[in-house]
A and B are shown apart, each in its own frame.
Chain A
């Protein structure tokens, strides 16, 4: 791998131990994956923020990088934290957890990272353009950036994304290169898609089938006539969760699809496959639901507006989390949506979500419109699940 004199200097520790460790990570990854050189990145998004996931040791590593002089060289934002940073007590988060979570955020802040904690950085200004090289970690956002925006990123882990932030570089391999962005399997969808759970179920159907047939699959997905930003956000989360997919092309919808012809290898998603995937994410009865959540990935302002209209003058009967990013919450505050939603008894869980908050075992069953949230509710938190449409989740909350 060719390193510039400046990169060699970083590797030799001339800018301190944190930048040296960062360069070691990048140089090793570059060597493993056969990168010829490093490329500059213009945007970074870092996962591994919740103290629930990091633990004391993960926090110690971040604190060491901060005290070792690590400073972000490019615009960098964070993935969701384990709590609403401003208003956590009402969500049942302990003061001890909050203290530890703040230490994590302090370490990032010391390193010059913008502590906006969200899986949808593209909704508030961390928005790369077509062809831009970036280093993001959140799997749903990686997929959204690559496929929907046409930016270029590998699926970074927390430490490798931090390494990119501290050096402003990433090794040139994987999805940064044209050759690896070509589709290699044609997915023909013969099913009708209406709402976010349909797109989530489609992500699971494709993800499940591709997971068993090798790494780095790039599906070319035909048969989708239209998809909203919210549909695509949910689809990206699901296909990344169930299939580890970081890039897909969808003719008529994503920007690079027109550069490619459909690959010869083909799989078909029938209505039956989609319906089966959808029903497999529901194992709770309506009466078992004691927790509802919308916002996996984090809600857009349009979705919050919709919730406010639907909940106006009503009263929710169960714990109901509205999860979004701090900047979008700010607009919801200004527009009066927050007041309406909170008057109905639902709770904003800003900066966090039902996947990363420390709520293991606290509820019996979750109702949500997100296939990804269903997966983690079962796998991480031990909840039963019920996958409903966005409107049905709201209706269920007041039943």
Chain B
């Protein structure tokens, strides 16, 4: 399966999907040191975004969230790539300053946690490898 979306920040990686059906607030919702999702009641609560192809509908919360992505990148616990239904400013800027490949306008209902994905953010495509 190949899904086509829009480039937010370029880059190519292959990784394992971690899929949420909920919005993510990086500021306050993700531990900037460990990459653990800490928001109470979140469907990924207690899971780490580190090294994953992180898939979620849209970012939410404080604009400080962009720096949280940068902190994660700096300490090696950032997602390998981000896939959104709609990428808002916080996630987009976080990906640009942290140089995390990011694609949006993807139908994320077709994706589930554990899938291996090849992300070509330059082309804006996403291939489900297995």
- Among the stretches A21-29, A70-78, A253-261, A279-287, the one at the interface with B is A21-29
Shortest Cβ gap from A271 to chain B (Å): 30
The answer to whether A61 and B63 have CB atoms under 8 Å apart is no
Residue numbers in A under 8 Å from B74 (CB-CB):
56-57, 60
Whether B13 is near chain A, meaning CB under 8 Å from some CB there, is no
Contact flag A58-B67 (CB < 8 Å), given A53-B27, A156-B89: yes
CA distance A62 to B44 in the complex (A): 31
- Among the stretches A157-165, A181-189, A294-302, A333-341, the one at the interface with B is A157-165
CA distance A53 to B69 in the complex (A): 12
The answer to whether A48 and B63 have CB atoms under 8 Å apart is yes
Residue numbers in A under 8 Å from B71 (CB-CB):
55-58
Which residue of chain A has its CB nearest to the CB of B74? Answer: A57
Q: How large is the interface on A (under 10, 10 to 19, 20 to 34, 35 or more residues)?
A: 20 to 34
The answer to whether A61 and B96 have CB atoms under 8 Å apart is no
Q: Which secondary structure characterizes the binding site on chain B?
A: helix
Whether B56 is near chain A, meaning CB under 8 Å from some CB there, is no
Which residue of chain A has its CB nearest to the CB of B64? Answer: A53
Which residue of chain A has its CB nearest to the CB of B60? Answer: A244
The answer to whether A57 and B90 have CB atoms under 8 Å apart is no
- Interface set, chain B 72-121, CB cutoff 8 A to A: 73-75, 87-90, 92-94, 96-97, 104
Whether B11 is near chain A, meaning CB under 8 Å from some CB there, is no
Whether B20 is near chain A, meaning CB under 8 Å from some CB there, is no
The answer to whether B75 and A57 have CB atoms under 8 Å apart is yes
Residue numbers in A under 8 Å from B90 (CB-CB):
157
CA distance A262 to B27 in the complex (A): 35
Residue numbers in B under 8 Å from A120 (CB-CB):
none
Which residue of chain B has its CB nearest to the CB of A174? Answer: B89
Whether A238 is near chain B, meaning CB under 8 Å from some CB there, is no
User: Chain B, 18-46, contact with A by CB distance < 8 Å: what is the 0/1 string?
Assistant: 00000000011000100000000000000
Chain A residues at the B interface, C-beta cutoff of 8 Å: 21, 24-25, 28-29, 32, 47-48, 53-58, 60-61, 137, 139, 154-160, 215, 244, 379-380
